[in-house]
């Protein structure tokens, strides 16, 4: 994974330099083959990392110190523009592939492996599909919640037609219904929250200097609580993380969180933008004034996770 992150940074820094750090300049610079090729490589790198992130079973990763800010900058300002520009670069690769296919097709016919180009290409396509096997789940394209719904509907139909000769029957569907209707598992909402729960990029300067297991474990618990709809629990965990991070990694002391936050904002001015006091007050309301916690608790829980992420990304280096 480290090499993927480094490749992304290399391509992105080069594109920023070549465009004078202006996404708008891509509109006319993309006509240059070198820029189009760079956009194609950068877009593929971004997609590859995004696919890895969403498939992971946790929401943290140790990254180069500069990665988080570069990633956020790219995601917010560059991603859609580069994706469009990458189509030009893709055409260059497609043209190269067409030339290569033409060459190997002519050679195959000359060697007697096929009589026509169509026959050879059909043989190669069939071989490639056999080697690749069934198309795997792609979480950047496929929605697993919809797939689960499709599977349930298919099972209903097959069971209704006694396709399994009673081996799989309505009892199995009732077990499925139990987890959804009784326990309250909602695949769609769970997946939606998992997608938007922020990835915690831990600066590499912390590795080796600190034991970061506590941050990783508690943050992932807070994320899973949020993902499964336990927003109050997520907020409470974030409140604990907030105090822990300020004390251990921002080197602040005291037992009163309000005073610790005030000291942190005085020492690190940028932290004022995070409105840490309001996050702490939210947690107190959740813990001690449950009935008046507010209707926007889910949105607030997500905001608290984003705040923790920002705190960790900006932990001072030695």
Q: Provide the strand spans (E) within the chain.
A: 60-63, 200-203
For 49, what's the count of Cα atoms within 13 Å in the CB-facing half-sphere?
Answer: 24
Distance separating alpha carbons of residues 188 and 295, to the nearest angstrom: 21
Write down the mean pLDDT value for the chain: 85
Residue-wise pLDDT for 137-168, tens only, equals 888 888 999 999 999 999 989 998 888 888 88
Dist. CA 4–CA 6, nearest whole Å: 5
Tokens of 170: 């309505």
Give the per-residue pLDDT at 151: 92
Q: Which is higher by pLDDT, 101 or 143?
A: 143
Where do the domains of the chain lie?
2-132, 144-187, 197-313
The answer to whether the Cα torsion of 113, 117, 118, 120 is positive or negative is positive
Q: What is the pLDDT of residues 237-261, one digit of tens each?
A: 998 899 999 988 888 888 888 888 8
Q: What is the pLDDT of residues 25-84, one digit of tens each?
A: 888 887 888 888 899 899 999 999 999 999 999 999 999 888 999 999 999 999 998 998
Q: What integer pLDDT is reported at residue 289 of this predicted model?
A: 61
Lowest mean pLDDT across 8-12, 128-132, 176-180, 244-248:
128-132
Q: What is the pLDDT of residues 265-275, one digit of tens each?
A: 888 888 888 88
Contact 140, 49 (CB under 8 A): no
CA nearest to 39, candidates 74, 2, 76: 74
Give the single-character DSSP code of 226.
Answer: H
Contact criterion met (CB below 8 Å) for 264 and 271: yes
Sole residue written with tokens 């080796």: 208
Q: What percent of the chain has pLDDT over 70?
A: 92
Residues near 102 by Cβ (< 8 Å), separated by ≥ 6? none
- Quickly state the pLDDT bin for 315 (edges 50, 70, 90): confident
Read off the pLDDT of residues 219-243 as tens digits, 9 standing for 90 and up: 999 999 999 998 888 998 998 899 9
Q: Is the pLDDT of residue 293 over 60?
A: no
Confidence of residue 291 (pLDDT cuts 50, 70, 90): low
In angstroms, rounded to a whole number, what is the distance separating the alpha carbons of residues 216 and 194?
A: 16
Q: Are 238 and 223 in contact (CB under 8 A)?
A: no
Q: For residue 297, what pLDDT is reported? A: 79
pTM: 0.81
């Amino acid at each position: 994974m480290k090499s993927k992150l480094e490749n992304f940074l290399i391509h992105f820094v080069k594109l920023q330099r070549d465009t004078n750090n202006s996404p708008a300049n891509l509109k006319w610079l993309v006509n240059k083959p070198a820029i189009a090729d760079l956009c194609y490589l950068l877009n593929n790198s971004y997609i590859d990392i995004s696919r890895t992130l969403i498939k992971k079973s946790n929401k943290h990763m140790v990254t180069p110190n500069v990665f988080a800010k570069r990633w956020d900058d790219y995601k917010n300002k560059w991603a859609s523009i580069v994706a469009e520009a990458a189509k030009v670069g893709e055409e260059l690769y497609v043209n190269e592939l067409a030339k290569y296919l033409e060459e190997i097709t002519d050679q195959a016919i000359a060697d007697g492996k096929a009589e026509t180009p169509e026959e050879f290409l059909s043989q190669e396509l069939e071989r490639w599909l056999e080697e690749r096997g069934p198309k795997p789940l792609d979480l950047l394209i496929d929605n697993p919640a919809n797939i689960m719904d499709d599977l349930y509907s298919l099972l209903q139909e097959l069971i209704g037609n006694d396709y399994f000769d009673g081996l799989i029957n309505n009892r199995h569907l009732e077990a499925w219904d139990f987890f959804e209707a009784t326990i309250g598992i909602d695949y769609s909402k769970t997946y939606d929250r998992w997608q938007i729960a922020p990835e915690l990029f831990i600066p590499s300067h912390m590795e080796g200097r600190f034991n970061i297991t506590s941050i990783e474990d508690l943050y992932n618990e807070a994320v899973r609580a949020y993902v499964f709809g336990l927003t109050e629990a997520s907020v409470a965990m974030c409140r604990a993380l907030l105090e822990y991070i300020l004390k251990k990694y921002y080197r602040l002391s005291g037992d009163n969180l309000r005073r610790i936050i005030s000291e942190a904002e005085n020492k690190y001015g940028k932290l004022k933008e995070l409105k840490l006091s309001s996050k702490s007050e939210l947690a107190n309301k959740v813990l001690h004034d449950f009935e008046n916690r507010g209707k926007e608790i889910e949105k607030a829980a997500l905001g608290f996770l984003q705040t923790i992420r920002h705190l960790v990304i900006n932990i001072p280096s030695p």
